[in-house]
Amino acid sequence: MVTKPGKTRIGVNIPYEQIFKFDTCAGQVATNGVGYSTVVTFGTTALEILNEMIKPGFSAQLQKLGVGLTQKFANLISTNVGSLIYRWEAREEYIDPGGTAGPHLITSAWVPVSPTFSKGIGSLLTSEDTLSNWFPVATLSHIPLRLRLIAQGLVAASMTGQVKNSSYIEAVGNVIPGT
């Protein structure tokens, strides 16, 4: 029998499904039940609004990944159509226990979880949208992974972005034994 460190058998598929909720409020208490991440102010340079590690405590081979991600932007410039653009991205980030050098960190390239969206039409000064669906995992084969929201103003401005505390990721796959 071939084993990995920890005396677990290689090749055993352990089904797994887990929903990860974000702790975006950083210990703050919401009086109306709605919380958001820390406000991030951005302008014409792309900036991270949220960078969150999704780490279940083991590695798993992903079969599908579902998201319910709500972002809120404020101080949009209503006279410009598309005063900001934003997108969600993810990458694998996990410890590979094998190899001749021992455990080492694996990080993949950032891949889009959403298309790039444009906001700021007409009299819209604030925008709150929820991206929800299952998306292909061909470019993301493992969890743990890191998720981030990137936003950029298209005109010289001072806009703000946040992520709602009800945002989540649902991962379905097989646990990789010994990880």
- CATH code of the domain containing 24: 2.60.120
- Number of helices (H) and strands (E), helices first, in the chain? 0, 15
- What are the C-alpha distances in Å from 99 to residues 9, 62, 150? 17, 22, 34
Q: Is residue 7 part of a domain?
A: no
In a domain, 68, yes or no: yes
What pLDDT digit, counting tens, does each position of 105-156 carry?
888 899 988 889 887 665 667 888 898 888 777 788 888 889 999 999 887 5
For residue 2, being part of any structural domain is answered with no
pTM higher than 0.75, yes or no?
Answer: yes
Does residue 143 sit within a domain? yes
Report the pLDDT value the prediction gives residue 3, as an integer from 0 to 100: 43
What does each C-alpha distance from 71 to 47, 48, 51, 85, 179 come to in angstroms? 14, 12, 13, 12, 33
Return the pLDDT at 121. 61
Distance CA 54, CA 52 (A): 6
In a domain, 3, yes or no: no
Q: Are 129 and 151 in contact (CB under 8 A)?
A: no
Of 104, 89, 105, the C-alpha closest to 151 is 89
| 6 found inside a domain | no
Contact call for residues 133 and 113 (beta carbons, < 8 A): no
In DSSP terms, 108 is beta-bridged to none
Q: What share of the chain is helix, strand, coil (3-state, %, to 5)?
A: 0, 55, 45
Q: Is 140 helix (H, G, I), strand (E, B) or coil?
A: coil
Residue 103 resides in a domain: yes
Q: Which residue has the tokens 């029998």?
A: 1
Q: Which range of residues forms the domain containing residue 164?
A: 14-175
Q: Look at the chain and report how many structural domains it folds into.
A: 1
HSE-up of residue 89 (Cα within 13 Å, Cβ side): 18
Task: Kindly state the DSSP code that residue 11 receives in the 8-state scheme.
Answer: T
pLDDT at 4: 47
126 vs 164: CA distance, rounded Å: 14
Average pLDDT, rounded, for the chain: 78
Handedness of CA 53, 55, 60, 63 (dihedral sign): negative
- Per-residue model confidence as pLDDT tens digits over 47-83: 999 898 888 777 778 888 888 889 998 887 666 656 7
